[in-house]
Amino acid sequence: MFAAVPLLALPVLVYNLIVLLLPGGFKAADATLRLAEPLFTIRMTSGAGWAVSLSDLLLAGALVVLFVELLKSTNSKRLAIVNHSLSMVLFIVCLVEFLLLPAFATSTFFLLALMVLLDVLAGFIVTIVAARRDVDFGE
């Protein structure tokens, strides 16, 4: 049953934990500033420094998870339908947090919510296309 849980819940959960640890919790207005603070800098061959923030790491991890979720959506078993439904619930939770809580009104969380939406859409579209191939309508 664990396979039915949308993996994109992990980056959303990590964002929730990060924001919860901020002073002010979910009502923290400075979440954007805290997420954009550079954690480390990587020296590039050109000599320029690439400052990597917590927001960058979270989004990069979420993109990898989105790729895995898209691969999982090609499965047309009943478990995939449960996964798509839970992904829809996750998107609704993300949308409510984005619209109602100040700490979630950031570009980082918007992009996470967009990834969840893409997972929902891709899952349903892939399932519908796969189901249409499984049914033979004759000549």
pTM here is: 0.86
Does pLDDT of 133 surpass 70?
no
Give me 51's structure tokens: 């400052």
Instruction: With a cut of 80, say whether residue 119 has pLDDT above it.
Output: yes
Q: Domain range spanning residue 23? A: 2-36+62-133
Task: Tell me, yes or no, whether 52 lies in a domain.
Answer: no
Question: Is 70 or 110 the better-scoring residue by pLDDT?
Answer: 110
- On the question of pLDDT at 12 being above 60, the answer is yes
Count of domains for the chain = 1
Q: What is the mean pLDDT of residues 50-57?
A: 94
Does residue 106 sit within a domain? yes
pLDDT digits (tens, 9 = 90+) for 73-95: 777 677 888 888 999 999 999 99
Run of H or E including 93: helix 78-100
Per-residue DSSP letter, 8: T
CA distances, 127 to each of 8, 48, 74, 87, 105 (Å): 18, 45, 7, 14, 32
Whether the predicted pLDDT of 54 surpasses 90: yes
The whole-angstrom separation of Cα 65 and Cα 87 is 13
**DSSP bridge pairs for 50:** 42
